Amino acid sequence: MKTYDGSTLIERLTKLNRPSKTAFAAACAQRLSPLYRRYFGDGESAKIDTLDGILNQIWDAAKGKDVTLDGLDDVAESLVPIDDERLGDPAYAQSATACVAYAASLWQSDDPVDAELAARQVYDAADCGAWTLFPILGAVPPGTDKFIEHQPVVQAALDGIERDLLTAEMASANDGWGELRLRASAEGEAWCLTLP
C-alpha cells in the first residue's frame, strides 16, 4: 500500500531540472483537469478554456518552447470555483485550479515545493473522494485515516503520481513529455469517473 510522503517527493523533485519538474506538475494538473470540466459541465466553457489554455502553455514551457507564464498562476487562482456557484462539492475543481496554479508558479520559481504542492492536489482530491464513501456520524472512529488510505481511489492517485514522477526522472522533453501528457490525460479521465 502506498502513502503520500511530501518530504520524499521534494527530495526526488530537487534532483530534477526545471523542465522535468514542470512536466511532472503539469501531469498532475492534467490528471485533475477532467474534474474541473465535470464540475462546471457546459455552463462555464470560458473558464474551462482558460484553464486548459494555461495548462497548454505550461506543457509548452516544459518542452522548451519560448513562452512566458508570468502571472498565469494568478489567472488560474482566479478560476477557483466558489462554494456557492452551483450544486455539488467544488473541492475537486478547487484542487484542479490550484494544481494548474502551482505548475505555472513552478516554471517561474523552479521550486520543488511547488511541484510537491501540485502532487498534493491530486492526493487531496482522492482523499476528498474517499471520505465521501465513508459514513461519518459524529466523531471520526479510530483507524479512519488508514481506511481512507486503503481506498482504491486514493491508491490509484498515488500510483499515478509515482508513474508521473518516474517518467519525469527518466525522460526528457524530446522523448517523454508527449507520452507523459497522453497517459496522465487518459488516466485522469478514467480516474475521474471513479470519484463520487
pLDDT tens string 3-38: 999 999 999 999 999 999 999 999 999 999 999 888
Tens digit of pLDDT for each residue in 161-173?
999 999 999 986 6
Kindly state the average pLDDT of the residues 49-76.
90
> CA separation (Å) from 24 to 99, 129, 146, 185?
11, 22, 27, 13
What value does the mean pLDDT take over residues 145-158? 87
For residues 50 and 143, the answer to whether their CB atoms sit within 8 Å is no
Please give the residue that has the higher pLDDT: either 35 or 135. 35
Model pTM score: 0.90
Whether the per-residue pLDDT at 88 is higher than 60: the answer is: no
pLDDT at 138: 46
3: helix, coil or strand? coil
